[in-house]
Amino acid sequence: MDDMETSVLRSFVAVAEGATITEVAGESFVTQPTVTRGLQRLETEVGVPLFDRVGRGLRLNRNGEVLLTAARRALTGLDTAVAEIAAHRDPAAGTVRFGFLSPLSNWLIPELLGEYRRRFPQVSFALRQDGAARILTALAEGTLDVLLTIPDVRHPEVRWEPLFDEDIALVVPAGHRLAGGAAVPLTEVADETFMIFAAGYGLRSVTDGMCAAAGFRPRIGFEGHDLTTLYGLIRAGCGVGIFPALPQLPDGLRQLPLSPAVSRPIGVAWCPGNYRSAAAEAFRSFAIDYLGAIDYAGRVALGRPA
């Protein structure tokens, strides 16, 4: 609807609910003839009278009752949409649709979101943790605003800004024969059973590639989607795994640096061509500044028992 049609609908609802033409004109800052002509145009458009003329007043008839229900619904929907759009312009309010790699949820994501929420408590988040390929597709399709992920050349419309390099480590049970050692070549666990991320996760490709480079194909005991589950199985002695090095592991696990060392870049991704709310744009800028200042190597301290 344009402004005129919206104002006519509002005038119709007001008169239908008992206001006089004079009252509606005064509240709308227009003349009484303007309100009257608008209601006449509305009746012409729907093709039937909406009011019965009673003396000098108007009384809603059955046709008007039908239109009143629809008009209220339409105006409510319009007002809600306008309010939501207005919220999109406020960087301190609204919702940010944020996607991230599953392993980052164990330490980095809670810290990042906690700090942002302390500064902007009115901002809410719609979160998605998943494999890199799936969240990148969601970003390109416009269902996510910002990602924390690895680079991917399959989506040329996505811009990616590097933040830090994430070390890849071998994770073993605390009682494992290698648990007390330093850096180990991957061939040391060629005969072990691997707890591994399922296909579609970036770490699955990393693990497959590293094992192939070491000259063996991993014997897979379990393919999972959740790092906590994979850690639990390793702690129970079901196997070993290759995962990002973390500042702190759950009890009963050790992470060892690999020889040669392996890492992967982590950065913020977004689509410059996609619309982002002011809150999403503000969060993207904050994430780049905040995460770019993290001393990843110092915090992870890879090589010491976790």
Alpha-carbon span 97 to 276, nearest angstrom: 9
State the average pLDDT over residues 22-45: 90
For the segment 223-236, the average pLDDT, to the nearest whole number, is 95
CA distance 203 to 252: 22
What mean pLDDT is predicted for residues 249-275? 94
Mean pLDDT of the chain: 90
Residue 53: the pLDDT is: 87
Rounded CA separation 46/50 (Å): 9
Q: Quick one: CATH architecture of 94-163+266-299?
A: 3-Layer(aba) Sandwich (3.40)
Which of the pair, 83 or 270, is modelled with greater confidence? Answer: 270
Compute CA distances 11 → 17, 30, 40, 74, 177, whole Å: 10, 11, 11, 14, 81
CATH fit for domain 3-88, picks 1.10.240.10, 1.10.10.10, 1.10.3720.10, 3.30.450.20: 1.10.10.10
- Confidence bin at 4 (pLDDT 50/70/90): very low
State residue 306's pLDDT score. Answer: 35
Average pLDDT over residues 222-229: 93
Type of residue numbered 265: P
Stretch 138-150: mean pLDDT: 95
pLDDT of 240 higher than 50: yes
Write down the pLDDT at residue 88.
Answer: 63
Residue span(s) of the chain under CATH 3.40.190.10 come to 94-163+266-299, 166-265
| Mean per-residue pLDDT, 65-74 | 92
Asked whether residue 85 carries a pLDDT value surpassing 80, the answer given is no
pLDDT at res. 103: 86
* Residue ranges, CATH 1.10.10.10, the chain: 3-88
User: Is pLDDT at 102 greater than 60 in this prediction?
Assistant: yes
Confidence label for 87 from pLDDT (cuts 50, 70 and 90): low
| Helix (H), strand (E) counts: the chain | 10, 10
The pTM of the whole model exceeds 0.85: no
Residue 256 has pLDDT above 90, yes or no: yes
| % of the chain residues with pLDDT over 90 | 66
State pLDDT tens for residues 155-213.
888 999 999 999 999 999 999 999 988 899 999 999 999 999 998 888 999 999 999 99
CATH 3.30.230.10 holds for 166-265: no
Say if strands 94-101 and 123-130 run parallel, antiparallel, or are unpaired.
Answer: parallel
More confidently predicted of 146 and 306: 146
DSSP readout, 6-70? Answer: HHHHHHHHHHHTT--HHHHHHHHTS-HHHHHHHHHHHHHHHTS--EEEETTEEEE-HHHHHHHHH
Task: Reply yes or no on whether the pLDDT at 96 is more than 70.
Answer: yes
The whole-angstrom separation of Cα 41 and Cα 44 is: 5
